[in-house]
Structure 1
């Protein structure tokens, strides 16, 4: 039986780590990427292997598109050596960064950094890996409720703009790749307990009760809330869904 293979970017912690583990639990091998947090990536691999799965961690900076061709070559070699495959089946564009500033104080450096990581990176990484993506495969882009009316908060104009662009890209990819049977969707998390913004929720736990009070289901999101949604979109149960953005926020600002 041919094993399905997923690539999950930014899987050394948080949503990416959860997505990698959840996808592996559903029977897929996983190539996961990390930048800087090598120990976290090793932990993700260990968690997958402890449950009988197979995973390989590769370094990748999604903000440096000039490295993508070499990364594709490394992926191709990993597919051959680990799974005897020439293609993979699922791409999860999760790796990201965060930045907050009022619109009037947003600098070009901040804007450009977010653009490279959150929009240009997924755009051209997907383009670079496309020859290796199998027909009838799936792409899941991790966007944000910051790009939706429900999730808009002051200070996130640049971040939300990039995530909004990612949602537009999701729809275009779904249209252009449909002749190959490739489904493309996005998930938009609400406030979720991750390491983004330099572990903001650990440093400022006092903000959590207020966010929970504004959430219909009464709590902050956890990485597994999002990771399971990503894994479901990669599976066959939701095979008639494409070009959609699914907000996974527990009903924030509902």
Structure 2
């Protein structure tokens, strides 16, 4: 059985990606930060469909914990799937917060950097020896780093997501001798728990975002999760080094 690791899969896009990947007959190791209950829900949803999943805690903003996480991954692979490698890595975990340029603190900037750029960089580096040849990596970026998603208040967040898009291309180049494909996806406004459940706390913003979208609505987690699952499957075998906007025609 092929095995995937999906970070930040206790809700939203990560949860959808984990479930959609599992539906394709892939075992899933999913990670969570503070939302252990949500991680349990993801595991339950996968197991209900006959799949197999294991949830592990991980703070992608603390790179010093990555070697111990790798040890945990090795144990789970061995004990659950009798494997010493895995096949798919989805770097999804992150956070969002709006802050105008002149109001962005160095502390917030550094947190964005640790979680959104340094975390995926060194987590992938740490896990790379366990990633099987012919595998696939998907990095979740944001259309905030693209012209279509350019909005005031996201300069620091988008800078890190833009850096992750560049990193994706370098990973694709350097991993290609092993047949490992690396792509990124750039979601637009999507109904998730990002920014402390902003959509639930400020539902009045939804109509304005929907009006800017060609299809007249905001995105749902499955809109993104299905694309991730397709990219890491055999259907995506000839795609690498691409950043794919998945935003329903935002600002089209």
User: TM-score, structure 2 length as denominator?
Assistant: 1.00
Q: Does 1:157 align with 2:136?
A: no
Distance 1:31 1:43 in 2: 13
Shift of 1:79: 0.1
Distance 1:198 1:111 in 2: 18
Question: Moved runs in structure 1, 4+ residues, more than 3 A?
Answer: none
Distance 2:60 2:45 in 1: 24
Q: Does 1:69 align with 2:67?
A: yes
Counterpart of 1:11 in structure 2 is 9
Counterpart of 2:44 in structure 1 is 46
Counterpart of 1:185 in structure 2 is 183
Distance 1:203 1:105 in 2: 22
Counterpart of 2:236 in structure 1 is 238
2:167 aligned to which of 166, 169, 176: 169
Does structure 2 conserve the Cα–Cα contact (< 8 Å) formed by 1:99 and 1:114?
no
Distance 2:157 2:44 in 1: 32
Shift of 1:127: 0.1
Does structure 2 conserve the Cα–Cα contact (< 8 Å) formed by 1:185 and 1:243?
yes
1:115 aligned to which of 100, 113, 116: 113
Q: Which runs of 5+ in 2 are unaligned?
A: none
Counterpart of 2:124 in structure 1 is 126
Counterpart of 2:144 in structure 1 is 146
Does structure 2 conserve the Cα–Cα contact (< 8 Å) formed by 1:15 and 1:223?
yes
Does structure 2 conserve the Cα–Cα contact (< 8 Å) formed by 1:11 and 1:44?
yes
Distance 1:113 1:99 in 2: 11
Distance 1:5 1:149 in 2: 35
Distance 1:74 1:157 in 2: 35
Distance 1:224 1:212 in 2: 17
Deviation per residue, 1:144-185 (Å, 9 max, x gap): 000000001000000000000000000000000000000000
Shift of 1:20: 0.1
Does structure 2 conserve the Cα–Cα contact (< 8 Å) formed by 1:69 and 1:128?
yes
SS at 1:237 equivalent: helix
Aligned length: 252
Shift of 1:42: 0.3
Shift of 1:238: 1.5
